[in-house]
Structure 1
Amino acid sequence: MHKLSLIDLGFFLAESEASPKHVGGLMICKRPPGSRAAFVGDLHREFLTFTDVEPPFNRVIHFSLTGMPTWQEAESVDLSQHVFYHRLRRGKNGRRELYELASRLHQPMLDRSRPLWELHVIDGLSEARFALYLKMHHACADGVTMMRWAADSLSRAASDLEVRPLWSIRHRTGEGKERRLKDKMAQSLLGELAGAGKLALGVGRLAGMLLLESVKLTKNAISLPFVADGNTPLTGQVTAGRQFATAGVAMDRVSGIRTRTRSTLNHVALTCLDGALHRYLRDEGVDLKRPITIQMPVNLRKEGEEGAGNKIGFVQVELSPPTDDPYVRLRNIGFSLRNVRSMIDSVAPEAIESYTVLTSLVGLLTEKLNLSNRLPPTGNTLVSNVPGPSEYLYVKGARIDELHPISTLPPGNLLNITLFSYAGQLFFGLIATDELPNLDRLSEYVSEAFTELEQSVLDAFKPSA
């Protein structure tokens, strides 16, 4: 049996038919040159032959009235309930139809009586392409872990034709190392006291930072939760129905901006999102006078630490005060992120986890009581960044040209945005409820905001005559 962390448990407690808590990834692949039309169907049938299922893909969640839920290994796994085949019709097989199908597949909850994952093989995409859509419960893995597992199962060269489905290979879950460390700590009273003291110190320091921020004695040490403007289309009671859109820019263009401005990928990406969101909100009749506040996951794993489940925290980050100058927006966001990074580095990871549990609990209660349309949200939206492989990956000789993240919606947010870097591209995956208007327009504004930032930086660093 394997116990859940509080954060993993929270994903189950927050889950509902209107707001399922799984994460996904959409891989758009090009069939190998000279391959038969039956290539994708053959691949699906080959997937079904890998019936030896490794942890954590063979685990079922078990709820008990007397204790915490636990993961238990299933006696058997019927792959026909986890691996599915779809075919798009000719004339209805473009990107729009693919995204519509992915949205429908992403909408329903996973069946808790089975291991909580699915793989959908999508045939018939235009231009000799096909897609793979992977879906897994957030309590099983965070986005970084899920991407690592997927990459472990794929090939680095087109010549490598071996099929290694991610459920059939032994993954590095890190559980043995974590369990040994916990056992050692449990035997040491001094270790327990030291851990409790470190947590108390971290929580106290974090509370102090929030207090100073609330009385305006600091600026962006960490943005306050539940102060974001709730009168926008971005927030409210999460409802069933999903829509999906993407944007993408070349990483060499991102690097050009980073080099000139000494900024990070997050600085650049959030600047584009900030500009796009303000423009989108103006289109919808909302002219914000204060900065947009995002929820941002932070990885709390130590360097080299691996494991299943989640080890992340969520903090609130203020983006830029409204401005029409993209370069000024970039500088403002850089200032905010540097302050937040300093705050995170100054407290124990356990303190960030505790803060995350408390703020998430408030959001959860608000959503469960159907009050999300009345009370302020934790933030205007959630933005996360999942680093991916820098080189192309392959499945049975088929190159994966694009890899798009599809996340879950937190309580009170009708939009979630995930960044994913892969093979020289930075992809923006936008998942939203059906109630959010004009999602495609927002994705177009992300690309346009990047071009505007690029030009603004060139102008700012243009040599004087």
Structure 2
Amino acid sequence: MAERKISRQLGQHLTGVENMFFQVEHVRRLMTICSIWIFSQRLDTTLVLASLENLCSHYPRFCLVPKHGSRTETAIWTRPPRTWKPKDQLVFHTLTTPSTLCLQKYIASQYVQPFDPDKPLWQIHVIAGLKHNQTAILWKAHHSISDGIGIMKAVFATTTSLDPLAETYRQQKLLEERQAKDTNDRISSQQQHRPGTFKIMQWIYWLIWGWYLFISIIQQLRYELWTLSLLVTPLIRLIQRRLFWPFTPSKDTFDYDGDQTQGKLIAWTDDLARKDIQKVQHQHPGSTLNDVMLLVFERTVQRYTQDRNMHSHTPLRIVIPLSLRPPSDWSMDNKVTGNIVGLEAGISLQQVHRRMMLLKRSLLPAVMYYGPLQHLLRYFPFIMVPRCIQHWYADLPHAIFSNIPGPSVPTFFAGQEIIDVHALPPQAGKGCISVGLVSYGDSLNLTVLTDDHPDYPDLANILCKLFVAEFKTVLQESGQAPSSSCNR
């Protein structure tokens, strides 16, 4: 069965999106996805190896290598050397100091290490030496293998106690419950009116809806034009450079002189209770969990810049990855696109929600994915923009904010329960903040990756502390008290 799955993948070209992640990778911004799991006890090495064998037998991309790629030829999936075994991807490490800070430093040091091109592009680190005899696991994988959700689902489905069918059913049930609640709210609001006044209310409703539709179209067009202006800006800068037309780039948030640093900083927040986030949502009907977290993140960045007298008048530009896969899709594939949202200082939760709705309604991400990215780059890889233009595009966003759903029930790996989960998407250009929001059970946490630069010492850890403080402030502004911390 496993050999048959591998044979079907052998010799196949990478898709356009997978090829793109290969071509845009740079030594200072690797296209690496990572996840960190924390356990209360030591792991059995035999059970860990058995889990890796099971993973490779179900998902061939974990035992194949992309090779023979160039600017004019798309790479194909090939076998690794005959001596390769899944255990070759396993690394053991013991921390010198039993602290979370030491663990984060080790993870950051391994994050910046590129993969061996002769081996499958993933790795697992088993890390001992934590306090209270805890153990951590670091999963690393190249984005060309799959998007973050695909990798997380594949790993959880084959190496842990998580039941994919049951988890899919739970996610679909939660989605249906939210949709049913919205429908019931609309019906109950209609039933409050008497039959005699219902027709008048209906006419008023249609007039308001028509005006709202007109305003929405205007706002959507403005958003599309703003996005397109960001896309053409690097091309304009290139033309200016070629014509020797001098220009001075403005100092931006978290920018610094020189090239992007290769060293990185990683930190994560304490757990946030999902019911606390729902309290904020309840005070602002229609808002989503992502809206609340984006508001808190924007306020976190503003708090950091204000405390250090850093003045920036440009909106915070955040890339939001958009998954194109349904909850029942557990395949290993890059079914992800993205768009950018601008959040200025002092923005409200309702405004964040409206910006996110504009982003979700935009046709540009789907057009780019199904057009030039997925197909043209597969057959014509040479159309990729030059490296200098890639640098410009990479430097556009201030942050990449990815929301990755984790297991909704306690999950076991190698016989031990996972007590904490963290995740990180790849980073973009100089000064960009990589943010991974991951849920596990009834709580969430935020993991942050930043450049390690002397202009911004300990940036990742400071942002995490400010994020928790700002979330408590948002909760208090909504008239709610934070619940006790969630213990799993």
Do these two structures clear the TM 0.5 threshold for a shared fold by scoring above it?
A: yes
Q: Could you tell me whether the CA contact under 8 Å between 2:63 and 2:86 is conserved in 1?
A: no
- Structure 1 residue 338: deviation in Å? 1.3
Which AA in structure 1 matches 2:158?
A: S
In structure 2, relative to structure 1, the CA distance for the partners of 1:398 and 1:413 (3 Å cut) is same
Which AA in structure 2 matches 1:448?
A: A
- Structure 1 residue 137: deviation in Å? 0.6
Instruction: Find the counterpart in structure 1 of residue 65 from structure 2.
Output: 60
**Which range moves more in the overlay, 229-238 or 261-270?**
229-238
Q: Could you tell me whether the CA contact under 8 Å between 1:235 and 1:381 is conserved in 2?
A: no
- Structure 1 residue 303: deviation in Å? 5.9
- Structure 1 residue 150: deviation in Å? 1.9
The reply on whether 1:338 has 2:361 as its aligned counterpart is no
Using the alignment, how far apart are the partners of 1:409 and 1:376 within structure 2? 9
Instruction: Find the counterpart in structure 1 of residue 122 from structure 2.
Output: 117
Instruction: Find the counterpart in structure 1 of residue 437 from structure 2.
Output: 419
The reply on whether 1:10 has 2:27 as its aligned counterpart is no
Q: Could you tell me whether the CA contact under 8 Å between 1:363 and 1:377 is conserved in 2?
A: no
Deviations 1:104-159 (A, max 9, x none): 111110011111111111112101211011101110011101110121134448xx
Q: Find the residue that maps to 1:279 and give its secondary structure.
A: helix
Q: Find the residue that maps to 1:458 and give its secondary structure.
A: coil
Instruction: Find the counterpart in structure 2 of residue 145 from structure 1.
Output: 150
> Aligned-pair RMSD on alpha carbons?
3.2
Using the alignment, how far apart are the partners of 1:441 and 1:356 within structure 2? 36
Q: Could you tell me whether the CA contact under 8 Å between 1:59 and 1:115 is conserved in 2?
A: yes
- Structure 1 residue 377: deviation in Å? 3.1
Q: Could you tell me whether the CA contact under 8 Å between 1:60 and 1:115 is conserved in 2?
A: yes
In structure 2, relative to structure 1, the CA distance for the partners of 1:330 and 1:367 (3 Å cut) is same
- Structure 1 residue 225: deviation in Å? 2.3
In structure 2, relative to structure 1, the CA distance for the partners of 1:330 and 1:51 (3 Å cut) is closer
In structure 2, relative to structure 1, the CA distance for the partners of 1:382 and 1:51 (3 Å cut) is closer
Using the alignment, how far apart are the partners of 1:424 and 1:387 within structure 2? 11
Which AA in structure 2 matches 1:454?
A: L
**TM value normalised by structure 1:** 0.74
Instruction: Find the counterpart in structure 2 of residue 365 from structure 1.
Output: 388
Written as runs of structure 1 = structure 2, the 5 A alignment for 1:63-462 is: 63-64=68-69, 67-74=73-80, 75-89=82-96, 92-156=97-161, 218=222, 223=227, 224-225=229-230, 231-233=252-254, 237-247=259-269, 248-262=271-285, 263-301=287-325, 304-319=328-343, 321-323=344-346, 329-344=348-363, 349-352=366-369, 354=371, 364-366=387-389, 377-435=395-453, 436-437=456-457, 438-458=459-479
* Higher gyration radius (CA): 2
Q: Could you tell me whether the CA contact under 8 Å between 2:224 and 2:362 is conserved in 1?
A: no
Q: Could you tell me whether the CA contact under 8 Å between 2:401 and 2:437 is conserved in 1?
A: yes
Deviations 1:11-64 (A, max 9, x none): 111223322211110111112xxxxxxx43xx2244346657431111011124
Q: Could you tell me whether the CA contact under 8 Å between 2:37 and 2:137 is conserved in 1?
A: yes
Q: Could you tell me whether the CA contact under 8 Å between 1:245 and 1:440 is conserved in 2?
A: yes
Using the alignment, how far apart are the partners of 1:451 and 1:258 within structure 2? 14
- Structure 1 residue 76: deviation in Å? 4.9
Identity of aligned residues (%): 20
Unaligned stretches of 5+ residues in structure 2: 1-10, 164-217, 234-248, 377-382, 481-488
Q: Could you tell me whether the CA contact under 8 Å between 2:154 and 2:332 is conserved in 1?
A: no
Which AA in structure 2 matches 1:264?
A: T
Using the alignment, how far apart are the partners of 2:121 and 2:372 within structure 1? 27
Q: Could you tell me whether the CA contact under 8 Å between 2:31 and 2:426 is conserved in 1?
A: yes
Q: Find the residue that maps to 1:118 and give its secondary structure.
A: strand
Unaligned stretches of 5+ residues in structure 1: 32-38, 161-211, 460-465
Using the alignment, how far apart are the partners of 2:75 and 2:431 within structure 1? 27
- Structure 1 residue 423: deviation in Å? 1.6
**Which range moves more in the overlay, 52-61 or 17-26?**
52-61
Alignment size in residue pairs? 381
Q: Could you tell me whether the CA contact under 8 Å between 2:253 and 2:431 is conserved in 1?
A: no
In structure 2, relative to structure 1, the CA distance for the partners of 1:376 and 1:117 (3 Å cut) is closer
Q: Could you tell me whether the CA contact under 8 Å between 1:314 and 1:356 is conserved in 2?
A: no
In structure 2, relative to structure 1, the CA distance for the partners of 1:83 and 1:456 (3 Å cut) is same
Q: Could you tell me whether the CA contact under 8 Å between 1:29 and 1:400 is conserved in 2?
A: yes
Q: Find the residue that maps to 2:61 and give its secondary structure.
A: coil
Q: Could you tell me whether the CA contact under 8 Å between 1:389 and 1:422 is conserved in 2?
A: yes
- Structure 1 residue 398: deviation in Å? 1.8
- Structure 1 residue 397: deviation in Å? 3.4
Deviations 1:181-230 (A, max 9, x none): xxxxxxxxxxxxxxxxxxxxxxxxxxxxxxx88xx963578645267975
Using the alignment, how far apart are the partners of 1:235 and 1:70 within structure 2? 38
Using the alignment, how far apart are the partners of 2:116 and 2:468 within structure 1? 37
Using the alignment, how far apart are the partners of 1:154 and 1:376 within structure 2? 34
**Which range moves more in the overlay, 12-21 or 50-59?**
50-59
- Structure 1 residue 403: deviation in Å? 0.5
In structure 2, relative to structure 1, the CA distance for the partners of 1:273 and 1:62 (3 Å cut) is same
Using the alignment, how far apart are the partners of 1:64 and 1:129 within structure 2? 42
**TM value normalised by structure 2:** 0.70
- Structure 1 residue 84: deviation in Å? 1.1
Deviations 1:420-446 (A, max 9, x none): 111211111101121243221111111
Q: Find the residue that maps to 1:2 and give its secondary structure.
A: coil
Q: Could you tell me whether the CA contact under 8 Å between 2:323 and 2:336 is conserved in 1?
A: yes
Using the alignment, how far apart are the partners of 2:158 and 2:327 within structure 1? 22
Q: Find the residue that maps to 1:18 and give its secondary structure.
A: coil
- Structure 1 residue 295: deviation in Å? 1.0
**Which range moves more in the overlay, 222-231 or 246-255?**
222-231
Q: Find the residue that maps to 1:296 and give its secondary structure.
A: strand
In structure 2, relative to structure 1, the CA distance for the partners of 1:336 and 1:71 (3 Å cut) is same
Using the alignment, how far apart are the partners of 1:424 and 1:51 within structure 2? 31
Which AA in structure 2 matches 1:258?
A: Q
Deviations 1:148-181 (A, max 9, x none): 0121134448xx9xxxxxxxxxxxxxxxxxxxxx
Using the alignment, how far apart are the partners of 2:87 and 2:161 within structure 1? 28
Using the alignment, how far apart are the partners of 1:16 and 1:336 within structure 2? 31
- Return the structure number with greater helix share: 2
Q: Could you tell me whether the CA contact under 8 Å between 1:364 and 1:411 is conserved in 2?
A: no
Using the alignment, how far apart are the partners of 1:28 and 1:348 within structure 2? 35
Q: Find the residue that maps to 2:35 and give its secondary structure.
A: strand
